[in-house]
């Protein structure tokens, strides 16, 4: 593309120079009309031979009446008008129209090229090679050839080739290409790594968890590459409009050229005047500004969003997102981190550290999320404690002997069964009671931690004009109430089954009014409602594959605060598209009216076509900056 643009620029410069030479020759030499035509044909053909070729090819394939055809007819008409009785030659104007049209095309190519380059640089996350351990050797292979379960080595400065889990080493990852976040993320053994991130410091080894085709890098690239297939209503309208508009414009130009001279009674005398006006009509009416700038605006808007870690699967979803007035949130993994953590330790008679110590030892061999949270809270298992006679009581908890003392860890039913006098907690969450030899030792509160930006997300959504924010969750009533109160959501529905969520979304769709309704989720059970909502928004970092597949918008860093950013970007994109549309139409209509009454010049016509197109394209590139 850059080579083609350089060639076109050289042709424009050569044509402009020869046009100046032609004007000087015309002013200083006495040449016939035919001789002048030959002088001006040189810069005309240098500037526009490809436009003429495209127009001829379109006619040959029965696909005429595009902007190349209109420009070819208008300029060839301007070259011929000088041979009509009583008419002045318009050779310089013909060359200039073609020249300026090519300048506009060059601007469009450069603008679109920058848009694509910006996005391609951002999306330059596909790794070229993977270092895989096989048979005691380190082999360099294509990422597509690495199987799930194999171990890959990622050196400092290299892209992570596959999604996996760190098995050796510690480092920092640059995740900006995926999430838009500039702060590196520290990773250690057992942490997940996503393909497309850049390893900044130490060498790490990772066990591959997904084939390359299903890796994060592949999915991100696939989403971006196919985003252009889903056109907005504006784009579809412009495409259909251009197909109808161009033939109508040609027909009107013919009418302008023929009917007024016939009505005047002096067809031969007036034809050249009205023919010239018809040519201006063709130049002004060229739909380049609309056909090029509106799709480029949406393309840039999607690119600008992706730079912030927001993947929009098509410009139609940008349009829907811009009109969002109702948003429903899932709770777990969306407003909360989806990971249980120890929120409080309330001991009786013993220290908080001792209480955690005993609970973690009892839960040592359990894989239950609550047990994992206890072990994370007290990770030091390498002590002198003997853990024996571990026995799980279904639906209640675990009993185990630690240093000859029977420790019971579980719910209230387990405490009752061992005769411990327990008491409840004012904190919201899962209460893990602990008893030692049948005597109550205290309890630990385990809860799903609310995301740091959840309250900010709700506040920002209200600020951007979302009228109704609802939380839908399958969790308990008191947990839902606590999360809703903490983040500032006024309406919530708890203890919902997946089918209940669908019913709730159906009700919200019926009650949404003139705007659109969005659903935000991350789990497999959210896939049906993500697909049912006007626009589905999925958490891409920790979200399930089913949710990401069903969603229309994916937040790569799992931050709910990015939803307001996405809405602002969508509204800004839509506003710029409408700006371009109305600006192009108003300027063209004004110059068309002036041309009909003989008050416009070919220079004005050129501005109404190429000038408006260039300005609209430059305006469209603003969407890339977000």
What is the spatial distance between Cα 313 and Cα 218, in angstroms, rounded to a whole number?
14
What is the spatial distance between Cα 127 and Cα 153, in angstroms, rounded to a whole number?
13
Residues 6+ away with beta carbon under 8 Å from 576: 297, 301, 619, 620, 622, 623
550 neighbors 532 (Cβ within 8 angstroms)? no
Which residues of 127-282 form beta strands (DSSP E)?
130-134, 137-141, 151-154, 164-168, 171-174, 185-187, 192-193, 198-199, 204-208
Burial (CB < 10 A; 0-12, 13-18, 19+), residue 188, is: exposed
102 neighbors 12 (Cβ within 8 angstroms)? yes
Residues 6+ away with beta carbon under 8 Å from 52: 45, 72
495 neighbors 476 (Cβ within 8 angstroms)? yes
**Quick check: helix, strand or coil at residue 482?**
helix
What is the spatial distance between Cα 434 and Cα 315, in angstroms, rounded to a whole number?
55
Task: Tell the residue number behind the tokens 């889903």, with chain if given.
Answer: 230
What is the spatial distance between Cα 589 and Cα 275, in angstroms, rounded to a whole number?
19
> Does the active-site annotation cover 330?
yes
Residue 404 region, left (φ>0) first, then alpha (ψ -120 to 50), else beta? Answer: left
Q: In the beta sheet, which residues pair with residue 408? A: 399, 435
Active-site position among 66, 68, 174, 330 = 330
Handedness of CA 305, 306, 309, 311 (dihedral sign): positive
467 neighbors 515 (Cβ within 8 angstroms)? yes
Residue 412 to residues 374, 392, 441, 477, Cα–Cα distance (Å): 18, 15, 13, 19
What is the spatial distance between Cα 309 and Cα 176, in angstroms, rounded to a whole number?
8
Residue 309 region, left (φ>0) first, then alpha (ψ -120 to 50), else beta? Answer: left
390 neighbors 407 (Cβ within 8 angstroms)? no
What does DSSP assign to residue 215? S
Q: List residues with catalytic annotation.
A: 330
């Amino acid at each position: 593309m850059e080579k083609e643009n350089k060639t076109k620029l050289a042709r424009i410069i050569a044509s402009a120079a020869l046009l100046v030479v032609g004007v000087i020759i015309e002013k200083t030499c006495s040449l016939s009309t035919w001789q002048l035509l030959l002088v001006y044909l040189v810069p005309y053909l240098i500037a526009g031979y490809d436009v003429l070729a495209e127009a001829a090819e379109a006619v040959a394939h029965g696909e005429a009446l595009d902007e190349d055809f209109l420009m070819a007819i208008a300029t060839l008409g301007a070259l011929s008008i000088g041979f009509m009785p009583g008419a002045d030659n318009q050779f310089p104007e013909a060359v200039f129209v073609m020249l300026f049209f090519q300048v506009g095309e060059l601007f469009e190519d450069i603008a679109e090229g920058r848009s694509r380059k910006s996005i391609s640089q951002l999306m330059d996350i596909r790794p070229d090679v993977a270092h895989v351990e096989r048979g005691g050797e380190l082999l360099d292979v294509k990422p597509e050839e690495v199987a799930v379960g194999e171990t890959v080595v990622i050196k400092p400065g290299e892209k992570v080739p596959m999604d996996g889990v760190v098995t050796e080493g510690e480092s920092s990852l640059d995740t900006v290409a995926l999430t838009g976040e500039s702060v590196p993320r520290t990773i250690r053994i057992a942490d997940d790594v996503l393909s497309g991130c850049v390893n900044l410091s130490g060498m790490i080894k990772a066990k591959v968890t997904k084939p390359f085709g299903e890796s994060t890098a592949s999915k991100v690239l696939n989403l971006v590459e196919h985003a252009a297939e889903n056109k907005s209503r504006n784009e579809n309208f412009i495409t259909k409009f251009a197909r109808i508009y161009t033939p109508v414009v040609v027909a009107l130009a013919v009418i302008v050229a023929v009917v007024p001279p016939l009505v005047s009674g002096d067809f031969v005398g007036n034809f050249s005047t009205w023919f010239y006006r018809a040519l201006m009509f063709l130049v002004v009416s060229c739909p380049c500004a609309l056909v090029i700038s509106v799709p480029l605006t949406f393309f840039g808007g999607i690119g600008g969003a992706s730079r912030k870690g927001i993947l929009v699967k098509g410009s139609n979803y940008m349009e829907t997102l811009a009109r969002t007035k109702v948003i429903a949130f899932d709770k777990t993994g969306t407003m909360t981190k989806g990971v249980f953590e120890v929120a409080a330790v309330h001991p009786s008679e013993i220290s908080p550290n001792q209480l955690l110590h005993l609970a973690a030892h009892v839960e040592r061999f359990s894989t239950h999320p609550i047990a994992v949270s206890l072990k994370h809270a007290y990770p030091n298992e390498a002590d002198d404690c003997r853990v024996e006679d571990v026995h799980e009581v279904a639906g209640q908890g675990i009993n185990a002997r630690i240093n000859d003392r029977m420790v019971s860890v579980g719910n209230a039913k387990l405490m009752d069964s061992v005769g411990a006098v327990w008491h409840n907690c004012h904190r919201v969450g899962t209460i893990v009671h602990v008893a030692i030899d049948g005597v109550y030792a205290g309890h630990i509160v385990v809860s799903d931690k609310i995301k740091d930006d959840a309250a900010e997300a709700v506040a920002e959504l209200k600020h951007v004009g979302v009228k109704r924010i609802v939380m839908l969750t399958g969790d308990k009533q008191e947990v839902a109430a606590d999360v809703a109160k903490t983040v500032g959501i006024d309406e919530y529905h708890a203890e919902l089954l997946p089918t209940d969520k669908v019913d709730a979304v159906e009700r919200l769709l019926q009650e949404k009014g003139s705007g659109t309704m969005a659903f935000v989720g991350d789990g497999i059970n959210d896939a049906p409602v993500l697909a049912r909502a006007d626009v589905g928004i999925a958490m891409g970092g920790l979200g399930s594959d089913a949710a990401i597949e069903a969603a229309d918008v994916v937040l790569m860093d799992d931050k709910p605060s990015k939803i307001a950013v996405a809405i602002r970007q969508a509204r800004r994109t839509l506003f710029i598209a409408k700006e371009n549309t109305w600006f192009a139409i108003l300027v063209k209509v004004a110059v068309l009216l002036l041309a009909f009454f003989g008050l416009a010049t070919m220079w004005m016509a050129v501005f109404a076509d190429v000038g408006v197109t260039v300005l609209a394209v430059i305006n469209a590139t603003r969407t890339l900056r977000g």
